[in-house]
Amino acid sequence: MGEVGFGGNILKDGNAVEFKTGSWRNRTPIHYKEKCKNCMFCVGYCPDDCIKHKDGVVEGIDLDYCKGCGVCSKVCPFKAIEMKSKDEE
């Protein structure tokens, strides 16, 4: 894992993948494939690019980097993503 410089300075571009931030999360998104219509709203709105997709199909959520903000669940018109707290998982 890379080191963050003094004061949180990022000294090298492209190193965000070295810092898995998913452990910060206190809510976890649960993706229900059977409800998902692959509208891709969640993909466009996720601030951390955590929605895994291929060829227009949502394949899941990258929990290594998801911080649990819940934006994906809020924008999903089909209720295919639900946020669960740690004690509900």
Beta bridge partners of 81: 31
Rg (CA), the chain: 15
Does the pLDDT at position 2 exceed 60?
Answer: no
Does the pLDDT at position 64 exceed 80?
Answer: yes
CATH number at residue 62: 3.30.70.20
Does the pLDDT at position 1 exceed 80?
Answer: no
Predicted local distance difference test score (pLDDT) of residue 88:
72
Helix (H/G/I), strand (E/B), else coil: 31: strand
Tokens standing for residue 67: 């911080």
Number of domains the chain contains: 1
Predicted local distance difference test score (pLDDT) of residue 60:
96
What's the predicted TM-score (pTM) here?
Answer: 0.78
Between 48 and 31, residue with greater pLDDT: 31
> pLDDT-derived band of residue 12, with 50, 70 and 90 as boundaries?
confident
**Structural domain boundaries enclosing 54:** 21-88
The answer as to whether 2 is a domain residue is: no
User: Which distant-in-sequence residues (6+ apart) come within 8 Å of 60 by Cβ?
Assistant: 31, 51, 52
